Amino acid sequence: MDVLLQLLFTGLGIGAIYAMVSLGFVLLIRAAGVVNFGQGEFSMLGAYLLVVFFNVLGLPYLLGMALAIVIMAGFGVVFAYATYWPLRFRGGLPVIISTIGASIFLENMVLVLYGPSSVQIDGLFDAPGIQVGPVFMDSQYLSILVIAALLVTLQYFIFEKTLLGKKLQATSQDKEMASLLGIPVVTMVMITFAYSAAMGGLAGMLVAPILFVSVNMAGAIALKAFAANIIGGYGSIPGAILGGLALGVVETLGAAYISVPYKDAFAFLMLLLFLLVRPQGLFGERIAEKA
Partner 1 sequence: MQITRRRALGAAAAAGTFAIVGRARAEDTLKIGVVSPLTGPVVEPGRIQLNSLRIATDQVNEAGGILGRKVELIVEDDQSSNPGAVLAFSRLAEHDDIVAFIGSIRSTQMKAMAPDMLKAAKPVMFGGTDPSLTHLGNPWLFRCRPNDSYSARVMTNFCLTSLKLSKIALVHSTDAFGTGGEKALLGNLDKAGVALVLDQGYANNQPDFTPVVLAVKSSGAEVLTSYFTNEPDCAVFARQLRQLGVRIPWVGSYSVISPVTRGLAKNALFGTYGIADFAEDANPTAKALGAAYRTRFNASPDNGWTYDAMKVLAHAINTANSTDAAKIREAILAIRKFPGAEGEFNFDENGDGLHGYNIVVNNNGAAEFKEHIEFTD
Nearer to partner 1, 211 or 282 (CB): 211
List Cβ neighbours of 7 (8 Å cut-off, separation of 6 or more): 252, 253, 256
Report which residue type is found at 280.
Answer: Q
Q: Is residue 153 involved in binding partner 1 (CB under 8 A)?
A: no
Task: Choose the binding region for partner 1 from 23-31, 171-179, 206-214, 275-283 (rule: CB under 8 A).
Answer: 206-214
Q: Does 223 contact partner 1 by CB under 8 A?
A: no
* Closest-CA residue to 150 (of 47, 16, 11, 9): 16
Among 89, 113, 116, 291, binds partner 1 (CB under 8 A): 116
The answer to whether 100 contacts partner 1 (rule: CB under 8 A) is no
122-137 in b/e form (b: 16+ CB < 10 A) is ebbeeeeeeeeeebeb
Task: State the nearest-atom distance from the C-beta of 9 to partner 1, in Å.
Answer: 9
- Residues in contact with partner 1, counted by CB under 8 A, come to a total of 33
Q: Which of residues 31-90 bind partner 1 (CB under 8 A)?
A: none
Min dist CB 231 to partner 1, Å, is: 18
CA distance 36 to 40: 9
CB burial class (10 A; 0-12, 13-18, 19+) of residue 219? middle
133 binds partner 1 (CB under 8 A): no
- Binding to partner 1 (CB under 8 A) within 259-288 occurs at 260-264
Binding of partner 1 at residue 256 (CB under 8 A)?
A: yes
Q: State the amino acid at position 12 in one-letter form.
A: L
Contact call for residues 69 and 50 (beta carbons, < 8 A): no
**Interaction between residue 105 and partner 1 (CB under 8 A):** no
Partners of 207 in the β-ladder = none
Binding window for partner 1 (CB under 8 A); candidates: 143-151, 216-224, 227-235, 275-283? 216-224
- In the set 132, 154, 220, 275, which binds partner 1 (CB under 8 A)? 220
135-138 and 129-132 beta bridge pairing: antiparallel
Q: How far is the CB of 115 from partner 1 (least distance, A)?
A: 6
User: Taking CA 218 as the corner, what is the angle to CA 103 and CA 100, rounded to the nearest 5 degrees?
Assistant: 20
Using CB under 8 A, pick the residue from 203, 252, 271, 283 that binds partner 1: 252
* Coil/strand/helix, residue 182: coil
Residues forming the site for partner 1 (CB under 8 A):
3, 6-7, 10, 13-14, 17, 115-118, 120, 128-129, 136, 138, 207, 210-212, 214-216, 220-221, 252, 255-256, 260-264
